[in-house]
């Protein structure tokens, strides 16, 4: 599933209003007991081969915070496969800072605007 403006809106402003769409966006129907290709992954825990990271020219410096992981994942999937592996484990204290802080919220919105401008707006 591609990242869309609608999905980002749901995640930030309309939690619980579109449960089927949210479930699709978070791939809740996937079999998490075995590896599978994913469109994007949480940036707090991505592992990438150095040669692949160099091939895609690393992170896009136009992102300060937020959505840079989705951009990186999209570029990986353009030349390779981004995979989920069930045996990898990480604990991430998800603070959702941009939901609580106006400055971080502004960074988040600006990053989303840049991402959708860069890749073309996908509304749904």
C-alpha span between 7 and 22 (Å, rounded)? 7
Tokens of 103: 């400055």
Strand partners of residue 118: none
Dist. CA 11–CA 120, nearest whole Å: 20
pLDDT for the residue 99 = 62
- What pLDDT digit, counting tens, does each position of 102-118 carry? 888 888 889 999 999 99
Q: Which two tokens stand for residue 8?
A: 């980002």
- Say if residue 97's pLDDT is above 70: no
First-last CA distance in the chain: 10
Q: What is the pTM of this model?
A: 0.83
């Amino acid at each position: 599933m591609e990242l869309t403006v609608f999905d980002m809106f749901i995640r930030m402003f309309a939690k619980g209003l579109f449960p089927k769409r949210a479930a699709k966006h978070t791939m809740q129907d996937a079999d998490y007991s075995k590896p599978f290709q994913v469109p994007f992954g949480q940036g707090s825990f991505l592992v990438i081969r150095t040669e692949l990271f160099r091939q895609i020219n690393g992170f896009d410096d136009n992102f300060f915070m937020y959505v840079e992981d989705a951009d990186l994942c999209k570029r990986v999937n353009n030349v390779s496969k981004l995979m989920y592996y069930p045996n990898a484990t990480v604990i991430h204290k998800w603070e959702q800072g941009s939901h609580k802080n106006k400055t971080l919220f502004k960074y988040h919105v600006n990053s989303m605007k840049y991402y959708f401008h860069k890749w073309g707006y996908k509304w749904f």
